[in-house]
Amino acid sequence: MLTKNTKIILSIIILASVTAIYFYGRSFWVPVYQKITGKKTIAEVVLTYGPDARERLRPYFESSGVSYPPKKVILLGIKSTSQLEMWAEAETGPVFVRSYTIRALSGVSGPKLRQGDRQVPEGLYKIEGLNPNSSYHLSMKLNYPNNFDLKYATEDGRSKPGTNIFIHGKAVSIGCLAMGDTVIEELFVLAADVGSTNIEVAIAPTDPRLMLLSTSIQPNWVSLLYKQLNIHFSKYKRNEN
């Protein structure tokens, strides 16, 4: 016969296990669920979430003086402050649209080095594709590792630099930018409207516009990467007036 305290402890363990499986085991059980219920297309997702997402987005673009959808979008991710800035390319140059809070991002300051290190990468990336059947609601795949990452992984002798880095929903991260479901719906619809090839993503450890990233650290390729990020972020300065 189990005592009352033992039953309470077992209940807590079971609840913690179920919670962990729900959040951290989504890559295992969600595909099974989707196999039963059926998968969605990008068009279906945009049809479902598009009207509300655009209604939320348009006021920000209107306030910025940019028509929706813009021709090009730039996303600036800052790991230290958990912020993702959205900029749009206008005829007069880049215009700040809004900033989102990144709900979760794992790892520490510094670029991603290898598979399984749970690091959010740092660098200049493109959106490689949209996933309407993500285990984390919806997702946008970054082209990590890009040519720069692959070149220096090879020079370092790192044969497995990792892959499958996404901007996705929910609030759990193992190397990705988790934005929450409402925000990823907006970003997903925006990417579909603009064209994913017209979106650039830059991720830095800290904001180079406030203090330049060090370009005198080892290994040398990190210094080179940070020099690129310093130059890239310098193009996007918000008007505080």
Per the CB < 8 A criterion, the answer to whether 180 and 103 are in contact is yes
Q: What are the tens digits of pLDDT across the range 178-218?
A: 999 999 999 999 999 999 999 999 999 999 999 999 999 88
Instruction: Give the per-residue pLDDT at 39.
Output: 81
Shared domain check, 102 and 22: no
pTM of the shown model: 0.85
Give the distance from CA 3 to its chain's centroid: 47
DSSP per-residue string spanning 75-89: EEEETTTTEEEEEEE
Tokens 């993702």: give the residue.
84
Q: Domain residues for 52? A: 40-233
Identify the three-state secondary structure at position 238. coil
Ranking 18-27, 95-104, 231-240 by mean pLDDT, the lowest is 18-27
> Are 108 and 209 contained in the same domain?
yes
Shared domain for 106 and 52, answered yes or no, is yes
One domain, residues 20 and 50: no
11 and 108 belong to one structural domain: no
Distance CA 92, CA 194 (A): 19
The Cα 205–Cα 215 span in angstroms is 13
32 and 85 housed in the same domain: no
Q: How many CB atoms lie within 10 A of CB 30?
A: 16
Cα separation, 183 vs 103, in Å, equals 10
CA 59, 64, 66, 71 torsion: positive or negative?
negative
Quote the CA–CA distance of 70 and 175 in Å, as a whole number.
Answer: 29
The answer to the question of residue 238 being in a domain is: no
Count other Cβ atoms within 10 Å, centred on residue 110.
15
Q: Check residues 218 and 28 and name the one with the higher pLDDT.
A: 218
pLDDT at 69: 95
Give dist(CA 58, CA 212) in Å, integer. Answer: 33
Confidence of residue 29 (pLDDT cuts 50, 70, 90): very low
Q: What is the CATH number of the domain that holds 93?
A: 2.40.440.10
Residues 86 and 128 in one domain: yes
- Split into its structural domains, the chain has a count of 2
